[in-house]
Amino acid sequence: MAEVLDELMRLWHNLHHKPLFGLLLTLCIYQLALMLYEYCNRRVILHPVATGSIAIALLLNALDIRYRDYLQSNQLLYFLLGPATVALAVPLHQQFHHIRKLLLPVLVTVVIGGVFAPAVAVGIAYLLGGSDAILLALTPKSVTTPIALGVADIIGALPGLTTGVVVFTGVVGALLSPAVFYLLNLHDPRLQGVVLGLNAHGVGTARGFEINPTVGAFASLTMGLTGAFTALTLPYALKLF
């Protein structure tokens, strides 16, 4: 029995140091989380990004796997985030006849929301005594992960912390969106898409497409515009402080 356990431990030690172990773990956990999400009729609180992230965090802690090693083995997924974001141009094109009519109001909303959302987050963190590293990581919180990582590199924010903030923002935004829509009596799919894209970026956009194509298209547009606005203005704005 002891020999069997020693052999299993040796196999485990060799396996979790393989470059693709983290990628395999991510795909398996996400698939299980997606199955749970579908089984529970797509309840927002069980969104696979939320449940999958929690499960992976617990597993990394239980198995004593360094986050740095896990992140390194998932570089392929990080690379694919960029093409996946660009591919959102397809539904944008399909819904362009709706988008064209509201482009100016969406642009105004993106400018106001793109400034207000991170400013409030940074302000609250500052009042609560947040460190400079936390404040920097919060500044690109309202843009999708590939853009946020690019901005983080420019402004000197920690990429791991920035990624966590962005994902947490997206998950919380998607989770709270049904309650917000209900309280504000917001039934227009175009406005729902704008709210999701601005406040929950990638996760919110995915949720938008689950609601209907118009919500997803407006979420894609708003997410892209917010990302572009933040990337072009944030590095220069920080120089003023």
Kindly tell me if the per-residue pLDDT of 201 is higher than 80: yes
Domain range list for the chain? 1-73, 83-241
What's the chain's average pLDDT? 81
Half-sphere exposure of 225 (CA within 13 A, CB side): 28
Residue type, 154: I
The pTM of the full predicted model, rounded to 2 decimals, is 0.77
Kindly tell me if the per-residue pLDDT of 72 is higher than 50: yes
Residue type, 170: G
Kindly tell me if the per-residue pLDDT of 241 is higher than 80: no
Q: Among 43-47, 87-91, 125-129, 136-140, where is mean pLDDT lowest?
A: 87-91
Tell me the pLDDT band of 8, cut-offs 50, 70 and 90. Answer: very low
The larger pLDDT score, comparing residue 85 to residue 29, is at 29
